[in-house]
Amino acid sequence: MNDRSGASRASNEYSAVGRRARRLLAALSFAAVVAALALVLVPAAATKGGSNGLEARVVATTKGPLPPCDNDAIPCTEENTVRHLVYIENRNKIADSFPPGSLRSRVTFPNSFVIDSIDEEIFIDGVSTGSSQYTPPPQPGYADNFGDKFVRNSWGHWPSTVTCDPGFGALDPCITVGKPAVVPGENTAVFWVSWAHGTVAIGESPGTYVFTFTVNGTLNGEEVHLTATTKKIVMT
């Protein structure tokens, strides 16, 4: 079960998605995420983007195992949930000079990694069982291969770039939303997503789960795809 809109539509906390009834915990506060991180962070394999100075890794908030829940007979809580934080490290150097206007935005900052989307693939006991794609604001936010689209649920999970219109006055609001970007020297969590483990009765299988995240973006206009994979987590 992933970060989507709800099986219990009234509470809007969990989501049933297609045959596998994946449910979300999007409505749980970010404070709960911080509290979970304070308890345990489980690092996973990192993948470098060749010689481009970039590296992706994914960190889990628990090692598991996760017992099942269904939000009806067995309410879903933190005990049934793992959150994955996708990090990008940009080891490139800050440029010696900057083109005119390039410092107005993280997106145009030289040697920044600009993120277009993140693809997620879920494996149970080594078998691929589903995939999702997440896109940051202002684009539609989420779609998966079960035929469901939840446009806005994941928008608050990104560090978006906000810039000011150069024609505005000094006190006018900055309302131009752009893509997330990791500037040289940063090691940043660019996205997080939750998975609450469902019961067999609602169509979710027990087993050993692995989640793979591929971050798609550009570095100085060139396409880059960085992949990171979680450690195995048992779901009962």
What pLDDT is stored for residue 12 in this prediction? 30
Give, for 36, the enclosing helix (H) or strand (E): helix 30-39
Check residues 139 and 129 and name the one with the higher pLDDT: 129
Of 90, 30, 92, residue with least CA distance to 61: 30
Domain boundaries, the chain: 18-235
From residue 55, give the alpha-carbon distance in Å to each of 42, 105, 115, 214: 17, 22, 13, 11
Task: Quote the pTM value.
Answer: 0.78
Contacts for 120 with CB less than 8 Å, ≥ 6 apart: 2, 131, 132, 133, 134, 193, 211, 212, 213, 214
* Confidence at residue 177, expressed as pLDDT on a 0 to 100 scale: 86
Domain boundaries 18-235, CATH class: mainly beta
pLDDT digit string (tens) for 83-109? 999 999 999 998 887 888 777 788 889
Quick check: 5 and 194 in contact, CB under 8 A? no
pLDDT tens digits for 113-128? Answer: 999 999 999 999 999 9
Averaged over 141-164, what is the pLDDT?
68
State the pLDDT confidence band at 29, using cuts at 50, 70 and 90. very low
Q: What is the pLDDT of residues 33-63, one digit of tens each?
A: 334 444 445 655 556 555 799 999 999 999 9
User: Cβ distance 141 to 152 under 8 Å?
Assistant: yes
